[in-house]
Amino acid sequence: MALLEVKNLGISFGGLRAVNNFNIEIEKGQLYGLIGPNGAGKTTVFNLLTGVYKPDEGSVFLDGKNITGKNNIEINKAGIARTFQNIRLFKDMSVLDNVKAGLHNQYHYSTIEGIFRLPRYFKVEKEMNQKAMELLKVFSLEEEAEFLAANLPYGKQRKLEIARALATNPKLLLLDEPAAGMNPNETKELMDTISFVRKHFHMTILLIEHDMKLVSGICEKLTVLNFGEVLAEGKTSEVLNNKAVITAYLGE
């Protein structure tokens, strides 16, 4: 059974059909790409999958569990974490605290234990610090742990967002244009990081991307969206040679 099974997903805004009859199946451990021209509805699909929007119809199953119509908090707990196209870090918090905020539901102690500094506070905080630093090390951010997130350079902000998403211990990681605004070197490095994350955490990843080098370099399968509908899907190399896809991207 696939990790993520989406059937016939659709949503309209006013009269506009933003996503229509969207289907996707992602196997465990796959690195899957979602591509398409601007305005095709890619980010809307992400918002539907993560519960920011409620779908008008269709169903979403994660690991056999129906998560259709659940809100974004429940969906995160069910095992989907994401990053955002326009980076959404906690800017006035330290890099470390950003990741620790991601660990929020993985480690528990009560507010009272926190205020009165009961033994569990110290124990759990120590564990959280260790775990957060581990994650930061994966992204070579451990040197900047005490920096304010807003003061990180752009590329590192993108990485921090991925680290923070991973901190929620997801089954499926959604990356919304992780390479946007990066130069070729940074993109190359990011590709290596994504591959590493996939192996190291045995992570299943769905990513939206415009950078074709990145997509063809690391994605195994692709789904192409155009005007809110699936235009093509399949193995990366096949999809990228598909006539309809080339037409959609380059015009007639």
Partner 1 sequence: MKNKLSKQTKGNFITYGIVVAAFILVQILLSTGKVSSLMQGLLVPLCTYVILAVSLNLTVGILGELSLGHAGFMCVGAFASALFSKCTQTAIPNSGFRFFLAILIGAAVAAVFGIIIGIPVLRLKGDYLAIVTLAFGEIIKNLVNVIYLGRDSNGFHFSMKDTMSLNMEPDGEVLIKGAQGITGTPNDSSFVIGIVLVLITIFIITNLINSRTGRAVMAIRDNRIAAESLGINITKYKLLAFSVSASLAGVAGVLYAHNLSTLTALPKNFGYNMSIMILVFVVLGGIGSIRGSVIAAVILTLLPELLRGLNDYRMLIYAVVLIAMMLFNWSPKAREFRETITGKFSRRKKTQEEV
Partner 2 sequence: MSFVSYLVNGISLGSVYAIIALGYTMVYGIAKMLNFAHGDVIMIGGYVAFFAVSGMGLPPVLAVLISMVVCTVLGVVIEKIAYKPLRMASPLAVLITAIGVSYLLQNIALLLFGAAPKAFTSMVKVPAVVLAGGALTISGETIVTILTCIVIMIALTLFINKSKAGRAMMAVSEDKGAAQLMGINVNGTIALTFAIGSALAAVAGVLLCSAYPTLTPYTGSMPGIKAFVAAVFGGIGSVPGAFIGGILLGIIENLSKAYISSQMADAIVFGVLIVVLLVRPTGILGKNIREKV
Residue ranges in contact with partner 1 by CB under 8 A: 50, 52, 71-73, 76-77, 81-82, 84, 87-93, 96-97, 100-102, 104-105, 107-109, 111, 114-117, 121, 124-125, 128-129, 133, 145-146, 150-154, 157, 164-165, 167-168, 181
User: x/- contact string, 37-56, with partner 2 (CB under 8 A)?
Assistant: ------x---x----x----
Which of 216, 191, 176 lies closest to 45 in space, CA to CA?
Answer: 176
Which of residues 43 and 223 has its CB atom nearest to partner 2 in the complex? 43
Work out the angle at residue 185's Cα, subtended by the Cα atoms of residues 156 and 36, and round it to the nearest 5 degrees. 85
- 107: partner contacted, choices partner 1, partner 2, none (Cβ within 5-8 A by kind): partner 1
Assess contact for 32 and 223: CB atoms under 8 A: yes
Q: What is the DSSP string of 23-55?
A: EEEE-TT-EEEEE-STTSSHHHHHHHHTTSS--
Cβ of residue 52: shortest distance to partner 2, in angstroms? 5
Cβ of residue 225: shortest distance to partner 2, in angstroms? 17
Structure tokens of 77?
A: 């707990």
Neighbours of 103 (CB within 10 A): 20
Print burial letters for 17-55: b (CB count within 10 Å at least 16), e (below 16).
bbbbebebbbeeebbbbbbbbeebbbbbbbbbbbbebeb
Cβ of residue 158: shortest distance to partner 2, in angstroms? 17
DSSP letter for 94, please: B
User: x/- contact string, 73-112, with partner 2 (CB under 8 A)?
Assistant: -----------x----------------------------
Dist. CA 144–CA 149, nearest whole Å: 9
DSSP letter for 2, please: -
Helix (H, G, I), strand (E, B) or coil at 5: strand
Which of 196, 166, 156, 171 lies closest to 99 in space, CA to CA?
Answer: 166
Which of residues 37 and 155 has its CB atom nearest to partner 1 in the complex? 155
Cβ of residue 238: shortest distance to partner 1, in angstroms? 33
- 43: partner contacted, choices partner 2, partner 1, none (Cβ within 5-8 A by kind): partner 2
Cβ of residue 42: shortest distance to partner 1, in angstroms? 17
Q: In the window 149-208, what residues touch partner 2 (CB under 8 A)? A: none
Cβ of residue 65: shortest distance to partner 1, in angstroms? 15
Binding site for partner 2 (CB under 8 A): 43, 47, 52, 84
